[in-house]
């Protein structure tokens, strides 16, 4: 008898959840999508309720295809992209954005993507987009063997500390 009551309660709960889900309104965020001739996908959402802008750049390159014993390349290149580019000198990436009032400036790498992001006052949006485009198009000329070795050591140290692991508590 007790099993039948529990089974009936579970069935009723399942039906209630399904009905509740069906009654919920669909949540939509309005956006515009552009695909320039270079194939990049640009998604723009305008929200005028706050005087800030968020820039979020995603590259569909991650650690998923790295071979055992030869890992960390995606993470290494994530670090190298914060170093310098043709028009943003060494050590200026963070200071330029912070001087403009940016917060939450960072990047991360996962199995299938590498991303970069910053939250900025809306009057600094053009500068942030220009800086992102500069490191997209003009990064390689600034790679030096010393820069590569320095960032390789940083990534290896993070990996030893566990910073490179999902849900890591270190750092």
Give the separation between CA 85 and CA 142, rounded to whole angstroms.
6
The whole-model pTM stands at 0.72
Q: Which residue has the higher pLDDT, 167 or 120?
A: 120
Instruction: Quote the pLDDT of residue 13.
Output: 65
Domain boundaries, the chain: 32-161
Given a cut of 90, whether residue 65 has pLDDT beyond it is no
Reduced 3-state DSSP string for the chain: CHHHHHHHHHHHHHHHHHHHHHHCCCCCCCCEEECCCCCCCEEECCCCCCCEEEEEEEECCCCCCCECCECCHHHHHHHHCCCCCCCCCCCHHHHHHHHCCCEEEEEEECCCCEEEEEEEEHHHHHHHHHHHHHHHHCCHHHCCHHHHHHHHHHHHHHHHHCCCCCCCCCC
Instruction: Quote the pLDDT of residue 167.
Output: 47
- Cβ burial of 66 (10 Å; 0-12, 13-18, 19+) is middle
- Average model confidence (pLDDT) across the chain: 83
Task: Report the CATH fold assignment for 32-161.
Answer: Cytochrome Bc1 Complex; Chain A, domain 1 (3.30.830)
- The answer to which of 73-87, 126-140, 151-165 has the lowest mean pLDDT is 151-165
Report, as an integer, the average pLDDT of 27-36: 90
Tokens 């028009």, located at residue = 87
Given a cut of 90, whether residue 103 has pLDDT beyond it is yes
Confidence of residue 11 (pLDDT cuts 50, 70, 90): low
Q: Which residue has the higher pLDDT, 140 or 58?
A: 58
């Amino acid at each position: 008898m007790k099993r039948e009551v529990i089974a009936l309660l579970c069935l009723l709960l399942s039906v209630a959840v399904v009905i509740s889900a069906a009654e919920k309104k669909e949540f939509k965020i309005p956006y515009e999508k552009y695909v320039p001739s270079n194939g990049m996908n640009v998604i723009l959402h305008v929200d005028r309720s706050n005087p800030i802008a968020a820039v979020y750049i995603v590259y569909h390159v991650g650690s998923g295809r790295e071979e055992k014993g030869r890992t960390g390349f995606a993470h290494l290149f994530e670090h190298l992209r914060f170093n310098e580019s043709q028009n943003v000198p060494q050590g200026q990436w963070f200071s330029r954005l912070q001087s403009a009032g940016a917060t939450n400036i960072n990047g991360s790498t996962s199995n299938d993507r590498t991303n970069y992001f910053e939250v900025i006052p809306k009057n600094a949006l053009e500068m942030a987009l220009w800086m992102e485009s500069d490191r997209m198009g003009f990064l390689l000329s600034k790679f030096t063997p010393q820069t590569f070795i320095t960032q390789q050591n940083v990534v290896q140290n993070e990996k030893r500390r566990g910073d490179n692991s999902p849900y890591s508590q270190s750092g």
